[in-house]
């Protein structure tokens, strides 16, 4: 190998390594210790909620334990935020256990992950993936801005709804044993399971529900606010399996 070729190869490897380190450096890690210490982003006070006020990528490196049902775990105030739960859980004080399952739900409005503005537009283009939010006093996840995505998330035994997004998507997720409201609410809901909640899946007007399952929800399994497209879903043993408000396109729906 000539020196020129070797030098070119070494430079290329250095660029790749530098690029990899730059990408890794851009991900902000969150664990229980730095959640309690604060300063995850500008203006983040010690303790919960962890306030994410800057766009970017964030990743859990431990479970987050929230003792108070009235306390939110993570509050997002900026648009263009991605949170990778990385297989970890956000855990509140509510507990569901036993067979049959009995839930002990304490009062409180604490949310696992929240992106809701008190005034004006809520943060947009927020993405949450790859983990569990359980036992919170209120919602598991509530992201109301446009372009939000929740993917591969379990929302379990929260006091309020499981996963609620605005004009956004819920993909390949699970909501079960949530205490009130519709367990899953979104514009696009795909490949998601809602089971043993009060209300199951709610699709916003103009939305799409495809490949979902709603099982043993007390009031309704799947509700579509038309116009909407409802294709290839299954509803089993709900109070009312399918409720379509208006003229919707419904196809390949299986129910019992």
Domain ranges in the chain are: 3-255
**What's the whole-number mean pLDDT along residues 63-69?**
95
Say which residue the tokens 């399996």 belong to: 241
CB 91 within 8 A of CB 68: no
Contact in structure between 197 and 183 (CB atoms under 8 Å): yes
The span from the CA of 31 to the CA of 66, in Å, is 12
Which pLDDT does position 23 carry in this prediction?
43
What span, in angstroms and rounded, lies between the C-alpha atoms of 112 and 126?
Answer: 14
Token pair listed for 226:
């038309």
Between 25 and 49, the more confident residue is 49
Tell me what pLDDT residue 99 has. Answer: 65
Using pLDDT thresholds of 50, 70 and 90, give the confidence band for residue 20: very low
Q: Mean pLDDT, to the nearest integer, of 149-160?
A: 96
Distances (CA, A) of 234 to 33, 190, 220, 221: 42, 12, 12, 9
Residue 248 confidence class, pLDDT cut points 50, 70, 90: confident
Cis peptide before 100 (omega within 30 of 0): yes
User: At CB < 8 A and 24+ separation, what contacts does 18-24 make?
Assistant: none
């Amino acid at each position: 190998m000539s020196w020129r070729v070797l030098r070119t190869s070494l430079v290329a490897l250095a660029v790749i390594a530098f690029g990899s380190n730059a990408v890794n450096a851009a991900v902000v890690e969150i664990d229980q210790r730095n959640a309690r210490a604060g300063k995850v982003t500008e203006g983040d006070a010690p303790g919960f909620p962890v306030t994410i006020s800057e766009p970017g990528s964030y990743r859990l490196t431990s479970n987050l334990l929230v003792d108070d049902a009235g306390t939110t775990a993570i509050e997002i105030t900026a648009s263009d935020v991605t949170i990778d739960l990385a297989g970890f859980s956000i855990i509140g004080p509510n507990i569901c256990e036993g067979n049959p399952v009995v839930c002990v739900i304490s009062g409180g409005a604490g949310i696992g992950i929240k992106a809701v503005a008190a005034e004006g537009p809520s943060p947009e283009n927020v993405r949450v993936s790859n983990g569990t939010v359980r036992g919170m006093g209120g919602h598991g996840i509530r992201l109301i801005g446009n372009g939000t995505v929740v993917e591969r998330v379990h929302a379990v035994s929260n006091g309020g709804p499981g996963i609620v997004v605005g004009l956004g998507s819920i993909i390949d997720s699970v909501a079960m044993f949530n205490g009130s409201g519709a367990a899953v609410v979104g514009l696009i809901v795909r490949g998601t399971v809602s089971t043993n909640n009060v209300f199951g899946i709610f699709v916003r007007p103009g939305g799409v529900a495809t490949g979902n399952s709603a099982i043993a929800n007390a009031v309704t399994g799947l509700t579509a606010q038309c116009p909407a497209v409802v294709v290839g879903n299954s509803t089993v043993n709900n109070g009312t399996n399918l409720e379509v408000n208006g003229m919707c396109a419904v196809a390949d729906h299986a129910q019992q």
